[in-house]
Structure 1
Amino acid sequence: MLTEEQLLSMPDEEYMNEEQLEFFRHLLNRNMEELNEQLENIRVFIGEPERQADELDQALSEEDNRNRLRMADRITKLKRKVIKTLNNIDDGDYGYCKVSGEPIGLRRLLIRPTAELCAEEKARQESREHHFIKVR
């Protein structure tokens, strides 16, 4: 298994070779395991309701559970994205911008392994979103 240093030291001509794809597949599978653990911890915590005698304590407990449910929703959405990304690796589409077809880049993928857009296209997208918000 490659280390990050070995991955980054590879020549550009070897972009998304089998070793690199395997590195990211392993990284994403590890992320999936962590997300599953986090979801299970949330489920266990929510499944053990606390009965508080004090109304304020009960309200606080309910608010904490609402926050946990929001977190569980975010984790579930991220899990779907990780699964989609793993499928992209299997299909040979991983590491390339969905809009321009340009390489996303190893450094960007190390930071955000589920990235689908290169940095330039993401900046354009965010600029359009920002402009749209201002116009409204």
Structure 2
Amino acid sequence: MDLMVRTVGNAAGLWLAVALLPGMAVPGAPSLMLTIVNLLLVGLVLALVNSLIKPVAKVVAFPLYVVTFGLFALIVNGAMLMLTSWITDLLAGVSIGAGMTLGLHVETFGAAVLGSLIVSIVSAVIVGLLGPRDY
């Protein structure tokens, strides 16, 4: 359940980031339904990257977190979004044969950092509203 809520939150954040930032784009997606499916798949990839790879990156970069008082988290989040873009670019090559274009393209690292900030805020709000309740 938690992975599904995070996927929806990431997809909503990615939609807003793509709409606001010129350095981020979703390839193809001629219809609304294909755009939603694409954003949900990219949101799932981002949730998996954040669950599997981000903890390792945080441990490796711990001294930089301490020195920068936690601001290095912006760089790590941007790197996770760039990694998601790279993974989904590979998915875009596979999906062309299926007749559906998937993926996310992030042009610069600056766009990735700003995009990750937008995605994090929107995802936190959605996960807070839809996520499991601990009473």
Greater length-normalized contact order (CA 8 Å, ≥ 6 residues apart): 2
Q: Which has the larger radius of gyration?
A: 1
User: TM-score if structure 2 supplies the norm length?
Assistant: 0.35
User: TM-score if structure 1 supplies the norm length?
Assistant: 0.35
